[in-house]
């Protein structure tokens, strides 16, 4: 089913998308490095403290309510940046996926991505396809199968890209 597209300035992350983000990220009360070569994360995958400074391995512990607060502060910063770089109207689903992507990879990378370039050009299906370009973590291709089975190194990175692609395509009608 095709969803109506609106100016990004009038959108904010939906509650359903926030719940999906939290599930995808998982919870840790202390900083971890989720994928080799990645930045430390805490709570629900947040790489930043509430004040915008980066998470350090010595931080913590953090409670689930503190983690939610930190994630919402992180998302607010990402949304501010996305409102500056996404110039085409998008549906709520497309917007939620852009915010989810920015949360994982950073708003700077999202704003300079093929996803945003294609969205701004009105190529919405092409933007959905571009989610599949995000398959690497720590210099490794996370979509790689080992002996026909998902790799244990970073398969979740690839699964999340496929999930975004599928959700985005489903919103195209």
Task: Please tell me the distance from the alpha carbon of residue 97 to that of residue 21, in angstroms, as a whole number.
Answer: 10
Give the total number of structural domains in the chain.
1
- CA distances from residue 71 to 1, 127, 135 in whole angstroms, order as listed: 30, 25, 23
Residue 98 is predicted with a pLDDT of 98
Domain hosting 65: range is 8-170
Max Cα–Cα distance, the chain, nearest Å: 47
Candidate from 6-10, 36-40, 93-97, 125-129 with smallest mean pLDDT: 36-40
pLDDT interval class at 1 (50, 70, 90): low
Give me the CATH number covering residue 130: 1.10.530.40
Q: Does some domain include residue 75? A: yes
Q: Does some domain include residue 3? A: no
Q: What is the pLDDT of residues 113-135, one digit of tens each?
A: 999 999 999 999 999 999 999 99
Return phi, psi of residue 127, to 5°.
Answer: -65, -40
Strand-pair partners of 136: 141
Residue 24 has pLDDT above 70, yes or no: yes
Task: Please tell me the distance from the alpha carbon of residue 120 to that of residue 111, in angstroms, as a whole number.
Answer: 10
Task: Please tell me the distance from the alpha carbon of residue 173 to that of residue 171, in angstroms, as a whole number.
Answer: 6
What's CA 31's distance to the chain center, in Å?
19
């Amino acid at each position: 089913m095709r969803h109506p597209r609106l100016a990004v300035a009038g959108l904010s992350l939906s509650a359903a998308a926030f719940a999906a983000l939290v599930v995808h990220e998982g919870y840790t009360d202390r900083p971890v490095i989720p994928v080799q070569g990645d930045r430390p994360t805490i709570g629900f995958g947040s790489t930043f403290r509430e004040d915008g400074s980066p998470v350090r391995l010595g931080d913590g512990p953090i409670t689930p309510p503190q983690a939610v607060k930190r994630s919402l502060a992180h998302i607010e910063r990402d949304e501010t940046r996305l409102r500056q770089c996404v110039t085409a109207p998008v549906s709520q689903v497309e917007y939620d996926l852009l915010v989810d992507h920015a949360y994982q990879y950073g708003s700077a990378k999202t704003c300079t991505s093929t996803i945003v370039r294609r969205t701004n050009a009105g190529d919405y299906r092409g933007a959905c396809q571009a989610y599949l370009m995000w398959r690497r973590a720590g210099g490794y291709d996370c979509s790689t199968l080992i002996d026909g089975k998902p790799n244990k190194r970073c398969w979740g990175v690839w699964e999340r890209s496929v999930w975004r692609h599928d959700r985005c395509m489903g919103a195209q009608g």
